[in-house]
Structure 1
């Protein structure tokens, strides 16, 4: 198991969890940590955008978690929405799309990782329970357990057959959960082109969409999107349109409606071209403030935002 090397914290110091509160009003207060909402739980990790995508909208995917110690596979959804499980063949999984116990998903994930590293084969953790910590210390977060510079090697799956070892047939509640999960999957693909990261095509039935998790601060990204919108350059091509954006775990996720007759690979190059335009617009903000038309475009884009986390 990875060791928690969190230092002893003085009461008036900022709490290391990132809440912005003093330690005595956060993790240093009995029961206080569970009430603290960390709005950007994966901040500081190179894989932040991928973690948001896997947590919020990618249906079936796995990725080796770049732990400093131990081997665990990160997963979108586990059987019966378990927080963690160790398969009968010994392979360990931690789920992202789970019910959280606290306001810090990173801390809940770290506790699930610590549990599964010590778990016996064939056991599962339905939900992360209440945290415990020695007085004067802060429980580990995901940032304490992984290499912060490492990217995630995401593998998308057409179904959830990876829940079980290849030689095991599902039975009982697991079989029912597997059947229901497979039936709910929407076809999803990750755009595969240089310069485009954490962008996913999904066929939602009546429409197809591109969801692109962006790392930039919201207001700066919104200004760059507005600059492209005012120039008529915000679509990927004539068969697409900008639909809006949503906030998830401190990041903004722009969304485009797409022609669902086109395959995911047909959007790789248009997305790369849009990415270059967006990078140029972001760079120009330092020397060219938004003009009146761009400010109006920004106001319009802001009105098409929602927050899901």
Structure 2
């Protein structure tokens, strides 16, 4: 590996990786077909240190249409988006507005560095320009954490469609209109669930089922211990109209998932989610004083069997 490779506490380097083993980024691909294809650093938890980390993970992985003003330290305006037309990394509208895309095609192992590079590119780009992908020549040692207010939450808006793709400068052309129609045709109804103690929880209707996906900021071991204790107590469900389905890992965080009664409106889950948040917080606080029992360890093993890794 070249000397230019960055070393970070949150990163796992590719030195010594067996090319036939699964890539440590969690993609499920062999290392040689993923990050082993080039000189790169794999950052397992790219948004660590930011209060907005759970929402950033949600925007990257499963929110279909969402935007949020980016809380940059210097105050220069930019908008973060779940996905941009053509899955672009960035675009600058004719009026100078900057948009950065989260769901892009990239082989980089550090999403935070890619976003920082895309923002730097956009600030000097001509209005009307777009950046399809962040290439190696654009990356530097700067990361998203270097540019954002670390304590700021994202003021995130979940949209019902992709109408916000269109600038307010006239009717879209035939190609843009067709792209918008295709994107809108596959969007899944998604809503943010809000309540006391609830953050980064999202209701989604997949057509056959409704789910609540809740990105949690706690370390996985601690969160799993708390979920196991709640499971053993029969308190893991949000309500009688829900069922804990399992969890998935995404960019270093665990995302518990519940199956929900599809007939209930998304807003009806605010109170059950708030009640669960209070139970979980109390359980997390009690872990240090009372270790898991034998039965709770068994419950943890059962829950661990319901996990998958996205990244």
TM-score (norm. length: structure 2) = 0.88
Bigger Cα displacement from structure 2, 185-194 vs 247-256: 185-194
Q: Is the 8 A contact 1:60 1:75 kept in 2?
A: yes
Instruction: Give the corresponding residue for 2:167.
Output: 165
Shift of 1:192: 1.6
Q: Is the 8 A contact 1:14 1:20 kept in 2?
A: no
- Where structure 1 has 5 or more consecutive residues not aligned to the other structure, the ranges are 1-10, 23-30
Instruction: Give the corresponding residue for 2:240.
Output: 238
Question: Counterparts of 1:236 and 1:173 in 2: how far apart (Å)?
Answer: 44
In 2 relative to 1, CA 187–16 (structure 1 residues): closer, same or farther, beyond 3 Å?
same
Q: How does 1:132-143 map to 2 (within 5 A)?
A: 139-143=141-145
In 2 relative to 1, CA 132–84 (structure 1 residues): closer, same or farther, beyond 3 Å?
closer
In 2 relative to 1, CA 289–14 (structure 1 residues): closer, same or farther, beyond 3 Å?
farther
Confirm whether residue 258 of structure 1 aligns to residue 250 of structure 2: no
Q: Is the 8 A contact 2:12 2:42 kept in 1?
A: no
Shift of 1:260: 0.9
Question: Counterparts of 2:204 and 2:37 in 1: how far apart (Å)?
Answer: 39
Secondary structure class of the residue paired with 1:242? strand
Question: Counterparts of 1:18 and 1:204 in 2: how far apart (Å)?
Answer: 34
Q: Is the 8 A contact 1:87 1:164 kept in 2?
A: no
Question: Counterparts of 2:295 and 2:105 in 1: how far apart (Å)?
Answer: 43
Instruction: Give the corresponding residue for 1:91.
Output: 97
Question: Counterparts of 2:37 and 2:145 in 1: how far apart (Å)?
Answer: 21
Instruction: Give the corresponding residue for 1:8.
Output: none
Instruction: Give the corresponding residue for 1:75.
Output: 81
Q: Is the 8 A contact 2:12 2:43 kept in 1?
A: no
TM-score (norm. length: structure 1) = 0.88
In 2 relative to 1, CA 14–140 (structure 1 residues): closer, same or farther, beyond 3 Å?
closer
Question: Counterparts of 2:198 and 2:106 in 1: how far apart (Å)?
Answer: 30
Bigger Cα displacement from structure 2, 277-286 vs 249-258: 277-286
Q: CA RMSD in A?
A: 2.2
Question: Counterparts of 2:6 and 2:182 in 1: how far apart (Å)?
Answer: 45
Question: Counterparts of 1:21 and 1:307 in 2: how far apart (Å)?
Answer: 19
Q: Is the 8 A contact 2:12 2:41 kept in 1?
A: no
Question: Counterparts of 2:116 and 2:6 in 1: how far apart (Å)?
Answer: 21
Confirm whether residue 229 of structure 1 aligns to residue 231 of structure 2: yes
Which of 204, 207, 215 is the equivalent residue of 2:206?
A: 204
Confirm whether residue 47 of structure 1 aligns to residue 59 of structure 2: no
Confirm whether residue 175 of structure 1 aligns to residue 180 of structure 2: no
Shift of 1:169: 1.9
Question: Counterparts of 1:97 and 1:58 in 2: how far apart (Å)?
Answer: 9
- Where structure 2 has 5 or more consecutive residues not aligned to the other structure, the ranges are 15-35
Question: Counterparts of 2:185 and 2:130 in 1: how far apart (Å)?
Answer: 23
Secondary structure class of the residue paired with 1:266? helix
Question: Counterparts of 1:95 and 1:77 in 2: how far apart (Å)?
Answer: 5
Question: Counterparts of 2:137 and 2:39 in 1: how far apart (Å)?
Answer: 8
Secondary structure class of the residue paired with 1:182? helix
In 2 relative to 1, CA 105–190 (structure 1 residues): closer, same or farther, beyond 3 Å?
same
